[in-house]
Chains A and B, each alone.
Chain A
Amino acid sequence: MTMKTGGRIRYADSIDPVTTDGRDVDTAIATLDGEGAQQRAHSDDEHLKRLAPAPWDRVPAITDTDTTYYDRPVLKPSVWSVDIPIYYFLGGTAGAALTMGASIQLLSPPGRHPMRRLSELCHWTGIIGSTAGAAFLIHDLGRPSRFLYMMRVFRPTSPMNMGAWILGGAAPTAIATGLFLNRGGVLGVLGEAAGYASGLFGAALAGYTGVLVSNSAIPIWQEARRWVPAMFVASSGSAAASVIAMFSSDERSCRAIRIFGTAARVAEIAATRQVERAASAIPKVAEPLRRGRPAILWKAASTLTLASLAFSLAPIRGRKKTIAAGLLGAAGSLCLRFAVHYLSNASARDPRASFHQQRARTAEQHRLQEHDYAG
């Protein structure tokens, strides 16, 4: 097909198809074996959309105090799609549920103990969350067929590599628990052991994503790195309690889950405030928390969690209340993960956030050094 623009044939369409991938290499006389020769180059429009500068909201100017390069970002925004915040939510929920499941297992004897029903519910939440989460995670990869390459190395410097091992431990042990726990004989013993293992992997699964987010050049998470993992753990706990509470019916199970959920929700709200406080040390870094769509999500998350907390503690009885509290809690946690995702990109797009943060750090070091000399 020949595309015409204004009666003229586009250059790209006028030349031989083998050369229209933007390389202008005539494969009749040259071979494609350069370092970048294997880079697939279709969907140029998508590429251009990412590259094209947005119209300036004010004319960039070089000033002594606040220099940037035409307001262009200094960092690259993440290439992750919404698969990733969904994974944070599913993986986190599964992780916290597995921890809860193992705790119940530890404190109630095997067999027909009523609490064992609750632990089964926890384990199945873990199974569904971790396998569905893994599917989202794999879907987001640029080369999904190479997912297992994550496990060709063991690299503690990469939280994502650690996460692959954690998820690779949590999902199979959760499945083994779901299948074999509360069975007799050798299988039952295997199920018991798998349950404890899944509890440990699950605890790590609930929060490693917080470390993953903190370990980035993005200014807002650099600044708040001491609180982001705690926020993730708490949010996972809140989501797990929300989901499990909606499906548990007996008095004692509900009580246990409500206590766990209340602690998690309070912790989530507290950790969220701490993240905000830490980021606010540099006003420019905290800006995405106050303005724009990510800020709306961020505030909505806390509001939903708070509402869930109020519902679950309200002195009314009934399933409707439990369901309302559960839905609000899960929505709050999901909202928080999406807020993190969009805040990352907002923060990465602002060169001043990086510059101010790094200048403040340098100034602080100088101040300390001068203090040393004076002392």
Chain B
Amino acid sequence: MEPVLTAAEARVLEHKAAQEDTANRSGRKGFFTDTTLCIGCKACEVACKQWNQLPDDGLLFTGMSYDNTVTLGASTWRHVAFIERPVALSNQDAGAFSWLFSSDVCKHCVRAGCLESCPTGAIVRTEFDSVYVQPDICNGCGYCVVNCPFGVIDRREGDGRAWKCTLCYDRLKENMEPACAKACPTDSIKFGDLEELRETATARVARLHEQGVGEAYLYGADAASQPGTEGLNAFFLLVDKPEAYNLPPDPVVPTRKVKDAWMSFALATVGMMAVAVGSVLVSERMRP
């Protein structure tokens, strides 16, 4: 026979169950994008658009290899870059050529420029440690756009609000992996707990080095390798300079250096107040 609970006891139990549920479905989650496995199929771009019901960006022919998506933006939350290089990868024998693909995404920085600069608190850190823009709060000031050192977040014309990758917040709440990772046919996009992802990534780099791809390295895997952002929750394995993938070599969240600007502001402001008082005093003395 089931025990009979008072309403208060039932509420306590319910609350406890909810807490356990939250604990199970939270923790630091992220992406590890292994660009050496990417085949440039853009399934991630399509899956992202479809799942998140994002509008298209219109049709463009850019002439930039097979990249007609161009860049991440308000309605483009995954972007596959196509890099055609006049050099071969170390373990390849294909003449002086290699074709690199990389699926770019919001990095969900540990210290996020967009979040720290957001004046309304629309941008928040979720229970999955991802950075999330609340569309019902964002007032479209556009300050996050100039504060992202990766040029990820953008405001869509006609909509007026800032948008970016949500790390599929709605899917994570239901214990599903993000749409892009789910759709990736080569598992170039890996989703999971950050600690596990880092282990996988380190092992992968070691394996690639064994196979002769000495140029493989991790981009933004931890605070030590990218102090400016204190590490990225969506990090990458690259085989060329970050610049080749349009990634900044040493990104710094602007707020890390803003102290200098506030200092300049403080000195100049005090200076102006002194000059204002001084000019009134001096004009008194100068009476002809």
Contact = CB atoms under 8 A, between A and B. Distances in A.
A29 to B, nearest CB: 13
A39 B159 contact: yes
A210 B258 CA distance: 11
B148 A99 contact: no
Contacts of B117: 157-160, 215-216
Contacts of A75: 146, 148-149, 151
Interface string A207-226: 11011101111100010011
Given A34-B170, A69-B83, A229 B265 contact: yes
Interface stretch (B8-16, B131-139, B207-215): B131-139
A25 B247 CA distance: 33
A159 B258 contact: yes
B35 interface: no
Contact of B280 (A51, A96, A115, A208): A115
Contact of B54 (A39, A70, A141, A236): A39
A40 B139 contact: no
B6 interface: no
A152 B121 contact: yes
Contact of B119 (A51, A62, A158, A236): A158
Nearest to A103: B276
A108 B283 CA distance: 12
Give the size category of A's interface with B: 35 or more
B78 interface: no
Contacts of B58: 22, 44-45, 47-48, 51
Contact of A142 (B139, B150, B276): B139
Interface stretch (B21-29, B37-45, B68-76, B198-206): B68-76
A297 interface: no
Given A36-B54, A142-B160, A157 B116 contact: yes
Given A36-B163, A72-B64, A212-B143, 5 more contacts: A23-B56, A74-B246, A99-B272, A149-B120, A348-B151
29 contacts: A23-B54, A24-B56, A35-B170, A36-B53, A37-B52, A41-B55, A46-B157, A47-B157, A48-B58, A51-B60, A51-B73, A67-B240, A69-B83, A75-B148, A76-B153, A142-B155, A142-B159, A144-B139, A147-B139, A157-B255, A203-B272, A207-B269, A210-B265, A229-B261, A256-B279, A256-B283, A260-B276, A263-B275, A359-B249
Interface of A: 21-25, 32-48, 50-53, 62, 67-70, 72-76, 78-80, 96, 99-100, 102-104, 106-108, 115, 140-144, 146-147, 149-150, 152-153, 155, 157-161, 163-164, 199, 203-204, 206-208, 210-212, 214-218, 222, 225-230, 232-234, 236-237, 252, 255-257, 259-260, 263-264, 267, 271, 344, 348, 351, 354-355, 358-359, 361-362
